[in-house]
Amino acid sequence: MVVPEGCDPIIEVRDLKVNFYTYAGVVKAIDGVTFTICRGETYCLVGETGCGKSVTSKALTRLIQPPGRIEGGEIYYYPEPGKRVDILKLSEKELRRIRGSEITYVYQDPSAALDPLYTIGYQVAETMKAHGLVSRIKEGVRRAVDILRTVAMPDPEVRVRSYPHELSGGMKQRSVIGMAIANRPKLLIADEPTTALDVTIQAQIMDLLLELKRKTGMTLLLITHNLGLVAEYCDRAAVMYAGRIVEEAPVRELFKNPLHPYTQALLKAVPNPLARMDKLESIPGSVPDLIRPPRGCRFHPRCPLRMDVCSRERPPEVLRGRGHRVACWLYTDEGGVAGG
Ligand code: SF4
């Protein structure tokens, strides 16, 4: 595992395994994922849909629902430096105190996260009341005005009395972010927070999240398939493929010197508006069926550089430079080309 120098961890995940037990078979959704998020940073999990980013983020507070199950590994949360909480050993009651309070989530679709029957003010107030920040909903609604102002909601005094259907997509997402920051979380997990929004609103929401992070000192875990967001907003990123982390590096290093053939292919597939392009690059093949994942390196059926060993054995993680790790046989003695 690679932890940057001076990192004060807030989350540590070791060898996490999550399976889903379906009628079709066991989906090995997360297969040995290891990473550390440092306090105060913006860490990103990036990859195609279905690669396991959201499942990983949900596992951090044991939000995996049946037929899913955490099958192995360790998850530690550090509410403050030196104080370690074993998430997998907490009782459900203890976990509820952390979830929605110290660790909160913002999801892709704000409409699904809001209850259509209650006003925005009530919903923000309810979050605060559930975690003891206010004793009465009335008091919470009063404080919700300030929270809505913090998330740059236009006319917060009016909007606090609005129902979700009266708000635009951007306003709904601001409300959800308001609910997520109401209890002053230490870690905010934003799972594709801008995917359902149009491009200008996307930038506003991302700027807002970063601004809130700067003001409150919270840590941000961003889940996205959008490499543009990674480049612009993240400090470090882990690239996931088929339930595994294949590469992790500081963002600048990842874009300058991508090592894993999957990361390289992803970056090549990003259209360059300044270059003349006759056709868009794509990655041949499709993401594997995780009921019967490919043996060895899960990317091998699509990898142009695969070797014999790739289809036999799982590639080890190799450290290449400061904070840069890659799971690929190319960078081992067996690999030859880039190895050593
Ligand atoms: Fe390609 Fe082999 Fe590296 Fe997998 S381990 S990415 S198949 S070279």
Ranges of each domain in the chain: 1-102+205-272+285-297+314-326, 104-184
Whether ligand 1 lies within 6 angstroms of the CB of 300 is answered as yes
Residues 55-104 pLDDT 10s: 999 999 999 999 999 999 999 999 999 899 999 999 999 999 999 899 99
> How many angstroms separate the first and last alpha carbons of the chain?
19
Cα 149 from Cα 340, distance rounded (Å):
55
Q: Which of 262, 298, 303 to mutate to test the pocket of ligand 1 (most atoms within 8 A of CB)?
A: 303
Q: Is the CB of 58 under 6 A from ligand 1?
A: no
Give the residue with greater pLDDT, 203 vs 21: 21
* Mean pLDDT, range 24-51, rounded to an integer: 95
Render pLDDT for 220-240 as a digit per residue (tens, 0 to 9): 999 999 998 999 999 999 999
Residue 1 has pLDDT above 80, yes or no: no
What are 294-330's pLDDT values in tens digits? 999 999 999 999 999 999 999 999 999 889 999 999 9
> If DSSP codes are grouped into helix, strand and coil, which group holds residue 151?
coil
Q: What pLDDT shows up at residue 339?
A: 44
At 134, phi and psi to the nearest 5? -135, 155
Q: Which of 112, 124, 196, 183 is nearest to 153 (CA)?
A: 124
Class of domain 1-102+205-272+285-297+314-326: alpha beta
Strand residue runs (E) in 23-160: 25-38, 42-46, 68-80, 83-86, 103-106
Helices 137-150 + 120-130 axis angle, to 10: 110
**Per-residue buried b or exposed e for 193-229, using 16+ beta carbons within 10 Å of the residue's own CB:** bbebbeeebbbebbebbeebbeeeebbbbbbbbbbeb
Rg of the chain over all Cα atoms, to the nearest angstrom:
21
pLDDT in tens, 260-288: 999 999 998 887 766 666 777 788 888 89
Per-residue DSSP letter, 99 = B
Structural element, H or E, at residue 328: none
The pLDDT, as a whole number, for residue 24 is 95
247 CA from centroid of ligand 1 (Å)? 12
Nearest atom in ligand 1 to the alpha carbon of residue 298 is: 4
